[in-house]
Each structure stands twice: as structure tokens, then as C-alpha cells.
Structure 1
Amino acid sequence: MRRRSGVILAAIGLGLAGCGGEAKAPGGAWQSQMGEVRMAVRGSEDDPMITRRLTAYKTYIGKATGLPVKLYESSDYNGTIQALSSGQVDIATMAGGGYANVDAQIGDLAQPILTVRQAEGDTGYYSGLLVMADSPYRSIQDLKGKTLGYVDFNSTSGYLFPRSVMREQGIDPDTFFGKSSFAGGHTQAVMALDNGQFDATIIQAGGGDPEHGFTTGAHFTMARRGVVDLDDFRIIWTAGPIPNSAVVVRTDRPQPFIDAVRGAMAALPYDDPEVWRDIGQPDGAAYTAVTREHYTPIIKLRADDIAARRSGERQ
């Protein structure tokens, strides 16, 4: 019998906190082989409902597989990436940049199976360049020589994707801005901007598009909590759409397990709309099937960025 996941994770220092799960008796050969479902998620620092959402997710997957589910919540992007890459969890939800990292480490041993499709049919979101509303900055060009806050090196919308688009537009992000650094998360990036640590920061924006505006993102969630005032901020530049986050599984797990999870999660918004809302998904959205090819552009962006850094072309 394999050792308990929590002990292994603690021993290798992944920084993941086991949330626990209700014990159930395995009901078949593959259930007996697995014993439990281990699922990694990155805790959303801007979401006050995270505990409720994780509990709802855990309960639903447990019913679908007939196995106890343990959720391992990581405090940063790398924790989730390493948990899946090292095989300490069976399944994880991660953004395209995180999956690209996993793909670079273990290749076909991990495979995206689902992503969220919005009611309008879109399967993407955006990076936004956020400034204070009372600042003089009206375009990205106004930020030459100014300070910029990124989210995290492994963040798709908060680092990897917007930097690529800047280069396409003739802006070298390593020399254009006077200084740049990582805030550590989307909420931290907004707070750092609000506190005057940056002139601008990169954030995630969704629930809309550049033409019609957005309705989701860290600053929207923080405003609903009363932490900030939406009117204090302004998005002056966008990049996207970016492929939505993926549900990624280890392909060395039993195929019946992968099929059960894929089917149950695809049916979730229809079978249990309340749980769907509890995990933060909007009405009208649903899961749709994807493969590695859906994230090929992000995989290439990450590989190109790392190659340029190693060659000394980028800072």
C-alpha cells in the first residue's frame, strides 16, 4: 500500500495543506487500486468563499468516483505544478502556463481533459494592465520608465501571456519599464498598486471583453468584499483571449478513473447547478473537452521565454 498522501507531501516540502475527505469503501478494482482521489487546487487569495467551494467540489467528486477525496490546497502556482508533476496528486485545475510547466516536466504523463466554456461560447479570458483611475496613464506607452507589478512567474495572465503580446507590439517588457517585480498573487498585485508600490500592475480580467468591459477579476472580487473601490481603478491595455484553466489528470492513473472524473465534471453544471455555482462558475457556463493542442500556443510561449532567458536575451 502506498503511503498516505499528506505524509508524502509534507516530506517533500510542496507547501500543500491537506483538506481531508470522508472515508468511503472502494467499490471496484480501480477504486481499490487508487484508494482515494488526491486533487490539487491553488487557493484563491481573493475569494472569501474558498472553503465552501472546495468542500462542494470534494463532495461531488467523491460521489462520482465512490472514493474519499483529499484536496491539497497550494499557496502558490508552483505548489500545484510540482504536486501534479511528481505524482503526489491525481488531478489538478491549473491555468495554461501552469500546465505548460507540467508538460515540460513530464510530457504525456499529464493531459488536460476539460476547460470551462462561457455561456457566450468563449473559452478564454484576458490580461489587463491596471492603473489608478486618478493617474495620468492612458495607454501602455505612458508607462515607459515606470514601475510594473507582475503576479507570478508561473502566472499565464499575470506574466507569460502579456509579456509575449507586448513584444509583438514592439515593446520589450524587460527594458521598457523602469522596474518590475512580482506581487505574488492577483490580490497582492491590486493591493500593491492601491498602496502606491507600482505605477501599474498586470491582472486577470474576465466575464466580458475589451469592447464591452469586464465583470470578473481580483479587483472586482475585492470590491464586492469592500476592500477596494472599483472606481479607483482603470484598465488601459489588454491582451487575450487566453485559454481558460484546464482540468489536468495524470495519465498513469486507471482509465476508468479518468473517464469517471471527466464524465462527472462535464455533467456537473446540469446535475448539480448549486455546486456549480458554489465552485465559482457562472450560470450558462459548462465544461468542454480539450486536449494538449488547445494549450499549444501557451506551451510554445513558455518554452520560447525560458530559452531566451537562458541565452541571456532577456532578464
Structure 2
Amino acid sequence: MNRPAVLLLTTALALSLSGCAGASESAPESATCPGGKIRMGILPYEDPDKLEPAYQHLAQALSAQLDCPVEVNITEDYAAEVLAMESDKLEIAQFGSLGFVFANQRAGAIPLVSFGDAEGNPTTYTGGIWVPNDSPIRTLEDLAGHTLALGSPGSTSGDALPMSALTEAGIADKVTADYAGGHPEAMLALINGSVDAAQINSQTLETATAAGTFDRSKFRQVWTSKDIPNDPITVRENLPAEFREAVREALLNLAPEDVKRVSAFLDIHPPGPLIPVSVDTYQPMFDLARIMGLTEKDL
């Protein structure tokens, strides 16, 4: 399986941001508004055309809290988001759980908050592998000799965890696993019958089921991961401590109404407030990267 190295992207930094939306005007520079605006990176875990309005809503609420325009940047891929923060192109960013490991190690990303439930408790999701109902594949081991659609390189549920499961089962080299380009694309490959199996995490499953694009009665799940902590929103380490703390407080002060459209993509119903997290919250992902020998090149 080809895993494009993040270092190859350094000559194409201009391509690291696939979309820029939000406030284009700048405010006077201040402690809470360095450079006159805040650039917020979002990983492309869903169709960007669907993500953009949801994050615009969150960004507008955050902008009001900080009295500073917040610009939403949906990055090209997971590696591009890490590179953009490392290159000081983003002040804050939401990373996937595993992507955060490399963002922390490479770009100094500091986790501030994640998405809570209605009671303010931490939320999680799961990775999964699905097959058609009439498939002879009944267990993970049965995937040997078959094709599997993954999401994107560096994805927690769409790459690292299913590949870790295949490795533990001793069949990683017996499965033809290819990246489809994202979670929705992997699911579509299964629906269209172009692969024997596909990774579909619980978030994508919920969104697609609600939209009527995935009929669960025609498919079944043959593998489920352990719970994965939901994505952290992070801030760049080399920014002033006063700014980092202001962003943390602003995010924690957002109402559930401000984040509910994003929470819907993360399978959180009903939505709750953003809650504080730390590096320790994501220690299982650091452990996974170590055990699997993963580095930023695997993005």
C-alpha cells in the first residue's frame, strides 16, 4: 500500500489548503487577534461542501467571542493540515485523533477542547469494516484474498485502526487495501460493488444513514474498533500564551447551539458543549503510533 510522505508536500504548500471560507477582512491586531485574523484548519473527514457551512457557524460564534475574524480552511488532506500548522499557516486546527499525534510531535499542536455530549461528558466513535449481506466474509480473518477500501492516509478509523487489526490478525499482506480518498468515498466503493469490503466509521455511518445514502439492511459489520476519543481542536504552540488561553476560554464558552452542526457530523445527539482535553486524552493514539511504528510519513 502506498503511503505518501508528508515531506513530499513541502514543495507544494500552496496546495495544502483546498478551501478558504469565512471572514476575509482583518481586524486590528491584538493579543487575541494576531495578524488581524485567526485561520482555523479543518481536516476533510466529510464532503467539504457539507463541512464548510457547519464550521462557518462555529467560526462566527468563535469570532464574536474573540472579537477577531475566524477564517475556515478545509485542508486538502491530513498531511496538508499538519504541514500548514507547522508552517504557521494555521493558528488553530481540528485534527483526527491519530493526526493529532503527528501534529503535536511535528507542529507543536496543543489540544484545547473536544466535543461533549449533552451532559458535558467526553464522546467517542468507532471504526468499522462492512461487507454486503450476501458476502462470504464473516470475520476479519475472512478478508484474506479480498479487496478493502480505506479512507485516507493518516486517518484514525479509515487507515490506522483497520490496518492495525489486519496486522494483528496476520493477514495485512493478504488483503488488497487501497485508499478511496475519504470516508464517504470508501463507503461509496462498497455500495457500488467495486470492493469486497470497506471501512465505515460510526460517524460516517450515522450521517449517511440519516441522509438515506446508506441502507444498513443491505450490509453487515464484520469488525468494530475500540472507542476512539473524538477530535481535538488545537492551537499552535509558538503563539503567545495569552492568545492560547483566550482561544481555550472562548471555545469553552461556546453554547451547544454554536457547535451542533459540527456535532451532527461526529454522531453526537443531542449536542453538548465543547469540553477541555489534554495530551493525556489521546495517549491511546500515541501508543498505537508507537506499536505500529507509524510516523508523519504515514500521513
**TM-score, with length taken from structure 1:** 0.79
Q: 1: CA distance between counterparts of 2:43 and 2:54?
A: 12
**Hey, what does 1:59 align to over in structure 2?**
60
User: Which residue among 185, 198, 203 is the counterpart of 1:201?
Assistant: 198
The 1-side partners of 2:50 and 2:22 are apart by 18
1:251-290 matches, within 5 Å, as 251-269=237-255, 273-281=256-264, 282-290=269-277
1:77-116 to 2 correspondences below 5 Å: 77-106=78-107, 109-116=108-115
User: Which structure: larger Rg?
Assistant: 1
Aligned-pair distance for 1:249? 0.7
Contact 1:148 1:201 (C-alpha < 8 Å) held by counterparts: yes
Q: Match for 2:78: what amino acid?
A: Y
State the distance in 1 between where 2:84 and 2:99 align.
12
Deviation digits for residues 131-164 of structure 1 (CA, Å, limit 9, x no counterpart): 1123232221222221112111210011112333
Q: CA deviation at 1:234?
A: 1.4
Counterpart in the other structure of 2:157: 157
Give the aligned CA root-mean-square deviation in angstroms: 2.7
Matched residue, 2:287: 300
Amino acid of the structure 2 residue aligned with 1:112: P
Answer whether contact 1:112 1:292 (CA < 8 A) is retained. Answer: yes
Q: Do the aligned partners of residues 307 and 22 (structure 1) sit closer, same or farther apart at CA in structure 2, a change above 3 Å counting? A: closer
1:110 alignment partner AA: A
Counterpart amino acid of residue 236 in structure 2: R
Question: What is the number of equivalent residue pairs in this alignment?
Answer: 282
The 2-side partners of 1:237 and 1:118 are apart by 25
Letter aligned with residue 254 of structure 2: L
Q: Partner of 1:279: helix, strand, or coil?
A: helix
The secondary structure found in structure 2 opposite 1:285 is strand
Query: What's 1:19 paired with?
Result: 21
Q: 1:93 to 1:33 in 2, by over 3 A?
A: closer
After alignment, is 257-266 or 184-193 more displaced? 257-266
Residue type at the aligned position of 1:158: G
Query: Which residue is 1:230 aligned to?
Result: 216
Indicate conservation of the 8 Å contact 2:52/2:74, yes or no.
no
Q: What's the counterpart of residue 172 of structure 2?
A: 174
- Does the 8 A contact of 1:46 with 1:222 survive in 2? no
Q: Would the aligned equivalents of 2:260 and 2:271 in 1 still touch at CA under 8 Å? A: no
- The secondary structure found in structure 2 opposite 1:153 is coil
Once the two structures are TM-superposed, the CA of residue 62 in structure 1 deviates from its matched residue by 0.8
One-letter code aligned to 2:173: T
Gap runs ≥5 in structure 1 = 1-8, 206-216, 311-315
CA distance in 1, matches of 2:185, 2:33: 42
**Shift in alpha-carbon separation, 1:174–1:258, aligned structure 2, 3 A:** same
C-alpha contact (below 8 Å) 2:62/2:254 kept by paired residues = no
Q: Which residue of 1 aligns with 2:75?
A: 74
CA distance in 1: counterparts of 2:222 and 2:129, whole angstroms: 6
Residues 140 and 293 (structure 1 numbering): CA distance in 2 closer, same or farther, change over 3 Å? same
The CA deviation string for residues 190-211 of structure 1, in whole angstroms up to 9 with x for no partner, is 1111112211111211xxxxxx
Q: Which runs of 5+ in 2 are unaligned?
A: 1-10
- Counterpart residue identity of residue 171, structure 1: A
- Deviations 1:33-60 (CA, angstroms, capped at 9, x unpaired): 4311111112443476433212211211
Identity of aligned residues (%): 28
Please give the alpha-carbon distance, in whole angstroms, between the structure 2 residues aligned to 1:70 and 1:295. 26
Q: Which amino acid aligns with 1:38?
A: R
Instruction: Give the direction of change, closer, same or farther, for the CA distance of 1:16–1:104 in structure 2 (3 Å limit).
Output: same
Displacement after TM superposition at 1:10 (Å): 8.3
Under a length normalisation based on structure 2, what TM-score does the superposition of the two structures give? 0.83
